[in-house]
Amino acid sequence: MEMQPRDTDVVLGGIDRPIEGAMVLGGFGVPKISELAREGVNAPFGKWAALKVPKGSDFFSKLSLRQLEKLVPYYNRDKIIRLWFERYKRDRLNEDFFDRDRASCYRWYLRGLPLELAVLKVCVDRMIHP
Q: What is the pLDDT of residues 80-112, one digit of tens each?
A: 988 887 776 655 545 556 788 899 999 999 999
The alpha carbon torsion through 20, 104, 71, 86 (nearest 10 deg) reads 140
**CA-CA distance, 48 to 46, in Å (whole number)?**
5
Of 90, 91, 120, 95, residue with least CA distance to 105: 120
- Tell me which amino acid residue 96 is: D
The answer as to whether 83 is a domain residue is: yes
**pLDDT for the residue numbered 109:** 94
Whether 5 maps to a domain, the answer reads: no
31 within domain boundaries: yes
Of the listed ranges 34-43, 55-64, 95-104, the least confidently predicted one is 95-104
Cα–Cα distances in angstroms (integers) from residue 80 to residues 26, 40, 55, 125, in the given order: 24, 16, 26, 16
Q: Does residue 15 fall inside a structural domain?
A: no
Domain of 110?
Answer: 20-128
19 pLDDT tier (thresholds 50, 70, 90): very low
73 in a structural domain:
yes
Percent of the chain exceeding pLDDT 90 equals 38
Structural domain count, the chain: 1
Residue 91 pLDDT: 54
Cα separation, 15 vs 93, in Å, equals 30
The H or E element spanning position 54 is none
